[in-house]
Amino acid sequence: MVFSELQQKVVLVIGGAQGIGAAIRTTFLSEGAIVIDADRQYTQDWTQAGDGAYQIHVDIQQEASIDQLVEMIQIHQLVPDVLVHVAGLSIMDPFLTSQTADFDHVFAVNTRGAYLVLRKITAEMKRWQKHGRVIVLASQAGKNPYRGMSAYVASKHALIGLTKNLALEVAPDDILVNAVCPGIIETKMKQRERVDGARLRGLSVADIVAEDTAQVPLGRTGTPQDVANVVLFLASPLAAYMTGQAINVTGGMTMH
């Protein structure tokens, strides 16, 4: 345990079933927090998944599903002190040959879905006078362009904008809102992007891996735990004078 202040605090993780979300979930559990993991991979409406751990199905593309999540946290009297929004997806296509349906799908999850979660859950935090934290997983793609990822890049730029605006509006309620912008993190999504990127560019996956590593000043790609550690910091008392920020976790690949 690093921060005793997080013990028995309620942490809601949207998209905690795998990858970065799973690392965030286990990190907060190790701090003694009560963690609600809401993910579309779960099939049940509400399940106790261990000591202080709960799972619930949510599809953030469906407003009614988010409303059901709000209802369940009310019923169980577990309105979060900390909201961590992780859920997102990417589709790789060159801009000029990309499909409108793919663009709409990326925005439906990464931007509209996040907007609905942030709006509805933060409103509950405010209503219950939770002087808490909202932490949004954006991306360094919210600051930079990337070949073949126009929809993802645009959606993450928009997500950082939503983060800043929410931070401004709920600052008087002592709710701090920040984004985390991961770089190249070793997850299943990144592995799939490498396969797609190699196909689009006529390279091998090994070429993409080498290129990824070469771009990082620290000389290695990141792990989900690297990101979870920064999320933990933002939820802790050490970040009590930070809001509206977009924090890079990129090994130096993005420095602005």
For 8, other C-beta atoms within 10 Å of its C-beta total: 11
Domains of the chain, by residue range, sit at 4-183+223-240, 186-221
Q: What is the pLDDT of residue 126?
A: 98
Per-residue pLDDT of the chain (256 residues; tens, 9 = 90+): 789 999 999 999 999 999 999 999 999 999 999 999 999 999 988 999 989 999 999 999 999 999 999 999 999 999 999 999 999 999 999 999 999 999 999 999 999 999 999 999 999 999 999 999 999 999 999 999 999 999 999 999 999 999 999 999 999 999 999 999 999 999 999 999 899 888 989 999 999 999 999 999 999 999 999 999 999 999 999 999 999 999 999 999 999 9
Q: Retrieve residue 142's tokens.
A: 């919210």
| Contact indicator for 125, 132 with CB cutoff of 8 Å | yes
Catalytic residue among 54, 115, 146, 152: 152
| Kind and range of the H or E run holding 176 | strand 176-182
For residues 38 and 233, what is the distance between their CA atoms, to the nearest angstrom? 21
146 is catalytic: no
CATH of 4-183+223-240, one of 1.20.272.10, 3.30.230.10, 3.40.50.720, 3.30.460.10: 3.40.50.720
